[in-house]
């Protein structure tokens, strides 16, 4: 099983960052790589089990299911249902932790998945840099003072 771990410190209170990322349909609002997104079957974007269907700016389409959402822990977990990446059993977690002495946020984005052994390293690198690190960098830039 392949594992991806990316983290960053965002110069804003965790509650402010959470207000942006909590919406499971908001990827186009805070990531640089998503062109558009919609929640299927008109479900609420915070309803466990809802499916977001989005297009990447490079033309790829991904469908993901919300597995868990916690306002208390400021975290959500999701799985990939369809993707051009050819991954199986993909589960990712996005979590925010307050850095109280600075009123900043420690953000973690992790994933585990199965893939063909010869593709694992490339997928870990691609997801870690082009998706997770890019998304966290965009959040940092959004809140830069």
Contact criterion met (CB below 8 Å) for 20 and 141: no
CA separation for the pair 33, 71 (Å, rounded): 25
Q: Which domain holds residue 13?
A: 2-143
Which among 26, 46, 22 has a CA at the least distance from the CA of 36?
Answer: 26
Over pLDDT 90: what percentage of the chain? 96
Query: pLDDT tens-digit profile of 77-121?
Result: 999 999 999 899 999 999 999 999 999 999 999 999 999 999 999
Tell me the CATH number at 17.
Answer: 3.30.530.20
Question: Which pLDDT score is estimated for 144?
Answer: 87
Q: Which residues contact 62 (CB under 8 A, 6 or more apart)?
A: 53, 54, 56, 80, 82, 83, 84
Query: pLDDT tens-digit profile of 54-81?
Result: 999 999 999 999 999 999 999 999 999 9
With vertex at residue 131, the alpha carbon angle to CA 69 and CA 135, rounded to the nearest 5 degrees, is 70
- The structural domain count of the chain equals 1
Q: Does the global pTM surpass 0.85?
A: yes
Which among 77, 79, 47 has a CA at the least distance from the CA of 63?
Answer: 79
């Amino acid at each position: 099983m392949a594992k991806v771990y990316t983290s960053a410190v965002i110069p804003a209170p965790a509650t402010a960052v959470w207000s942006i990322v909590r919406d499971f349909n908001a990827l186009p609002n805070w990531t640089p790589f998503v062109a558009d997104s919609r929640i299927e079957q008109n479900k609420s974007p915070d309803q466990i089990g809802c499916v977001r269907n989005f297009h990447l700016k490079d033309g790829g389409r991904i469908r993901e299911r919300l597995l868990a959402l916690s306002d208390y822990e400021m975290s959500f977990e999701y799985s990939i249902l369809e993707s051009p990446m050819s991954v199986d059993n993909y589960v990712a977690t996005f979590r925010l932790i307050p850095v109280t002495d600075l009123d900043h946020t420690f953000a973690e984005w992790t994933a585990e998945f199965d893939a063909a052994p010869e593709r694992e390293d490339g997928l870990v690198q691609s997801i870690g840099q082009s998706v997770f690190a890019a998304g966290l960098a965009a959040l940092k830039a959004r809140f830069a003072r």
